[in-house]
């Protein structure tokens, strides 16, 4: 299967939108069948890292182990996560760190490596460079993310020191998401009002310039599906994970 960006959208229109707003959505972004192929490989994945923050430190749990916890321990975890979410930065969702998996060769031969290669091939990086008018982009890092009922990613700006992040991207791989389920990507303006909301839409890429306040809205308790995507940053400089 050929994983590559389709050229169905006018690059001029995309560039204009990105220049004007600092964000853009690319509908029908990958060539026919590519998003389906990625989806098929991700949707069967059982093991994920359940991630959240505790007092400024990133926490990683094995989702299969958490599922086997007693209810009171699950409740405690939810309490811990939500306590910090009320007035501070917090997140709660599942992830697969494919950028690390690829560069540390943790899963040789696995499909996940193909995703990282696709994101970092010249054709893909050129597409991103053109779209964001940032020829200095040298690589993309990436993770696969899965949001289910109760998950969220609170407001943040993504501008971490020394990471050289130019723009963030989200490749949406969720089919038939309903707007009522939450989980939209919201971009805020300087007044903390919502400038733009992106609904999870299959085979659509959302790209936005860093830094900007943004968040993934709380996924409602009545949501039955998973919100799947590949997210990451387009970065400049030397890839610290490359050999």
Exactly one of 39, 41, 113, 217 binds other proteins (CB under 8 A); that residue is 217
- Looking at 30, 182, 202, 226, which residue binds other proteins (CB under 8 A)? 182
**Quick one: which of 43, 197, 237, 238 contacts other proteins (CB under 8 A)?**
197
End-to-end CA distance of the chain: 27
CA distance 134 to 93: 30
| Position 29 contacts other proteins (CB under 8 A) | no
Which of 13-21, 75-83, 96-104, 116-124 is the region at the interface with other proteins (rule: CB under 8 A)?
75-83
Answer for which of 86, 123, 242, 243 binds other proteins (CB under 8 A) is: 86
User: Segment near other proteins (CB under 8 A), from 34-42, 64-72, 132-140, 182-190?
Assistant: 182-190
The answer to the question of residue 218 lying near other proteins (CB under 8 A) is yes
Q: What are the beta bridge partners of residue 110?
A: none
Residue among 18, 181, 208, 233 that touches other proteins (CB under 8 A): 181
- Are residues 35 and 3 in contact, defined by beta-carbon separation less than 8 angstroms? no
99 binds other proteins (CB under 8 A): no
Nearer to other proteins, 119 or 185 (CB): 185
Examine residue 190 and tell whether it contacts other proteins (CB under 8 A). Answer: no
Binds other proteins by CB under 8 A, chosen from 66, 186, 236, 239: 186
- Alpha carbon distance 91, 230 (integer Å): 16
Size of the site for other proteins (CB under 8 A): 35
Q: Is 76 in the site for other proteins (CB under 8 A)?
A: no
Task: Check binding of 87 to other proteins (CB under 8 A).
Answer: yes
184 binds other proteins (CB under 8 A): yes
| For the chain, the helix, strand and coil percentages under 3-state DSSP, each to the nearest 5 | 30, 30, 40
Q: What residues make contact with other proteins under the rule CB under 8 A? A: 78, 81-83, 85-87, 90, 150, 152, 154-155, 178-182, 184, 186, 188, 192-194, 197-199, 201, 215, 217-218, 220-224
């Amino acid at each position: 299967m050929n994983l590559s960006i389709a050229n169905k959208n006018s690059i001029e229109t995309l560039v204009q939108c990105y220049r004007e707003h600092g964000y853009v959505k690319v509908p029908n972004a990958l060539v026919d069948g590519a998003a389906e192929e990625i989806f098929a490989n991700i949707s069967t994945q059982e093991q994920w890292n359940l991630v959240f923050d505790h007092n400024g430190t990133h926490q990683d749990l094995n989702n299969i182990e958490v599922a086997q916890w007693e209810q009171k321990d699950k409740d405690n975890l939810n309490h811990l996560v939500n306590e910090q979410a009320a007035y501070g930065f917090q997140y709660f969702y599942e992830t697969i760190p494919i950028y690390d998996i690829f560069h540390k060769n943790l899963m040789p031969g696995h499909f996940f490596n193909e995703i990282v290669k696709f994101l970092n091939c010249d054709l893909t990086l050129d597409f991103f460079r053109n779209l964001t008018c940032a020829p200095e982009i040298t690589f993309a890092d990436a993770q696969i993310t899965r949001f289910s009922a109760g998950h969220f990613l609170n407001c943040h700006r993504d501008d971490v020191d020394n990471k050289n992040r130019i723009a963030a991207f989200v490749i949406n791989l969720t089919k038939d998401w309903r707007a009522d389920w939450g989980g939209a990507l919201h971009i805020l303006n300087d007044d903390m009002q919502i400038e733009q909301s992106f609904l999870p839409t299959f085979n659509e890429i959302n790209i936005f310039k860093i830094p900007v306040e943004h968040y993934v809205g709380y996924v409602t308790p009545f949501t039955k599906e998973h919100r799947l995507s590949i997210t990451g940053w387009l970065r400049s400089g030397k890839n610290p994970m490359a050999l």
